[in-house]
Structure 1
Amino acid sequence: MRFPSWVGDPKFDHLTKLMVWSCKSTHLPTLECLGYLRRLVVQRLSEVKTVGFELLATANSYIGFAFPSLEVLEFGYMQELVEVSIRLIPSLRVLHVEECSKSVLRSMVSLSWSLVKLTISNVKGLTQIHEEDLMRLGALGHLFIKKFDELRYLWERESEACKNLVSLQKLEVWWCKNLVSSAERENNFGISMESLKRVQLCYCDTLESYNFPKSFE
């Protein structure tokens, strides 16, 4: 399958929103000219295995920069996707990753140091969020984790999470039936982040106890 010729045409270089949805193509269209794009949704492209240079502006392709104005990126239902070779989306603030592999999630989290909201859902093989990924989430204010059958812990050490997630104000965890604790090296679910104001734990059947400061909602 081929995308229409107007997709990626310089005449549309002022587009601010684009959705690529449910296509049989094995690659994404060339979108390098869309320098004003603010929101990109890519979902249900089940044949796509790599994402990279087709999204990069020509002037920045050698350093892996993409979409200088992009603020919201949603990737979902890309079960065959194995590689994301973009290094940086400098303005990215909101990222949604759903039904992709663990390696894809880790590549996506590294796209920006300015993420304020991260939603991850049903990522295969993920049992906890890696410490290296937490290091990039210092600006994150809202973390939403849902539908993880394999997730047993949110992270390995509570101390590392507190050190890196210094801006986190809202944490939501939904439908993680095997979650037993916030950190692998703790017995109970307990979070001591000073910035955190609101926590929602829903449908986490294995989680038996938790311990939060009284300031939490």
Structure 2
Amino acid sequence: MYSNITELPDSIGNLKHLRYLDLSYTKITRLPDATFKLCNLQTLLLSYCKSFSELPKSIEKLVNLRHLDITGTALKEMPTQITKLQNLHSLSTFMVSKQSDGLKNKELIKLPHLEGKLSILKLQNVVDPMDAFEAKLKRREKIEELVLEWDSDDSQDSPTVKNILNMFHPSAKLQRLTINRYGGTSFPNWVGDSSFTNITFLCVSNCKGCLSLPPFGQLPSLKELSIQGMASVKLVGHEFYCNQAGSSSFHPFPSWEVLKFEDMRAWEQWRIPFKGEGIEFPFPSLKHLYLYNCPQLKGDMPDNLPSLRKVDILNCNHLEAKSSALKGIACIQKLNINQGEKDLLRAIENFSLDSLKRLRITDCSSLQS
């Protein structure tokens, strides 16, 4: 409704008792100096103000501010004075500065009450891994969602890069985790560790140097897993389910409902465990399987998927499905296939389609019936 607002009047400073100011989705580029007279302001929302490019040092005057949301703005830097807001409970975004006198990750320790979602961006500017360690994320039990993001996806692998991510070890009470454009060839041990019993959502994307995936199967509460743009991963195998073979049967992904593999251009083989390997029945709760743009993926689909309801397979031309592969899908409701997955089309004959509500087949020039 107010998206055309481009600036605030100086008279905003007269609202001495104002506690809540929502400017989200407006076209403002800056805040007038009068804004920082609002000493009682507790909530300042600037989310998706795409022209907003400067957060001034005067922000320190908002001594009672508890919630600051700058998601989706044009900010490139944050002033060090942000750490003087001792009452902050939610800070959507924390940008690490490249400048020697700019905002460093270790200064998060000065904001002891943070909770909810926290995105730490521009991690390519972290030089010393101890800066990450001093943020003490492992003690931040009220942070429920953490986003760790580098600006570039072509950073060179080095012990320092991996050690930086290792030092960002969050609290075991974390519920949602996203890692974007990490430049290492492997992940530190905490990623996928079974001690994270509360994680329900996990996304790793554009980590183009990583050669393998962490043991996500060990996360007992994980419901949704999204793997995107992992350009160097050729095999998804045992390491995906657990970090070592057990002598007794191990049931990975007990809560898993949504799996997305997207833009995995080098991925060739998905090795599904079988009985006798110490891993059994890997996908008991999977409801939605999404495979997009995996042009090199060969072999069979996973079989025995009793909970599967929705399947999207797009641009995976070499993927096959034997008559047994999808036989366990008794109640599929939505099916989306394209780009000539003719072997998968044949497998439709093995479906029990009584529950099918939506079928979409596109770009299948060889389809005859």
Distance 2:213 2:355 in 1: 34
The residue matched to 2:254 in structure 1 has which SS? coil
Distance 2:354 2:220 in 1: 31
CA offset at residue 18 of structure 1? Answer: 0.2
The residue matched to 1:112 in structure 2 has which SS? coil
Of 223, 237, 252, the match for 1:66: 252
**53-62 vs 132-141, which deviates more?**
53-62
Cα pair 1:13 1:33 within 8 Å, conserved: no
CA offset at residue 76 of structure 1? Answer: 1.8
CA offset at residue 10 of structure 1? Answer: 4.3
Can you give the 5+ residue segments of structure 2 that lack an aligned partner in the other structure?
1-183, 274-281
Alignment of 1:15-164 (within 5 A): 15-23=199-207, 24-57=209-242, 65-87=251-273, 88-100=282-294, 101=296, 103=298, 106-108=300-302, 110=303, 112-125=305-318, 130-146=322-338, 148=339, 150-151=340-341, 155-156=345-346, 160-161=349-350, 164=352
Does the C-alpha gap of structure 1 residues 154 and 92 become closer, same or farther in structure 2, counting only changes over 3 Å? closer
The one-letter amino acid of 1:31's match is F
The count of corresponding residues between Structure 1 and Structure 2 is 174
Cα pair 2:221 2:255 within 8 Å, conserved: yes
Does the C-alpha gap of structure 1 residues 47 and 145 become closer, same or farther in structure 2, counting only changes over 3 Å? same
Does the C-alpha gap of structure 1 residues 99 and 90 become closer, same or farther in structure 2, counting only changes over 3 Å? same
1:12 and 2:196 are equivalent in the alignment: yes
RMSD (Å), alpha carbons: 3.0
Does the C-alpha gap of structure 1 residues 32 and 152 become closer, same or farther in structure 2, counting only changes over 3 Å? closer
Cα pair 2:329 2:352 within 8 Å, conserved: yes
Distance 1:179 1:92 in 2: 30
The one-letter amino acid of 1:114's match is S
Runs of 4+ in structure 1 deviating by more than 3 angstroms, as ranges, are: 57-65, 128-134, 150-158
Higher relative strand content = 1
Distance 1:90 1:34 in 2: 14
CA offset at residue 20 of structure 1? Answer: 1.1
CA offset at residue 25 of structure 1? Answer: 0.4
Distance 1:125 1:33 in 2: 29
Query: Deviations along 1:56-94, whole A, 9 cap, x unmatched?
Result: 256878657421000000012223222222342111011
Partner of 1:209: none
The one-letter amino acid of 2:200's match is T
Can you give the 5+ residue segments of structure 1 that lack an aligned partner in the other structure?
184-217
State, as a whole percentage, how many aligned pairs show the same letter.
30
TM-score, length of structure 2 as denominator length: 0.41
The one-letter amino acid of 1:38's match is K
Cα pair 1:64 1:86 within 8 Å, conserved: no
CA offset at residue 54 of structure 1? Answer: 2.3
Does the C-alpha gap of structure 1 residues 119 and 63 become closer, same or farther in structure 2, counting only changes over 3 Å? farther
Does the C-alpha gap of structure 1 residues 64 and 46 become closer, same or farther in structure 2, counting only changes over 3 Å? farther
Distance 2:193 2:321 in 1: 39
CA offset at residue 170 of structure 1? Answer: 1.1
Query: Per chain length, whose mean CA-contact separation is higher, i.e. which structure has more relative contact order (CA < 8 Å, sep 6+)?
Result: 1
Partner of 1:168: 356
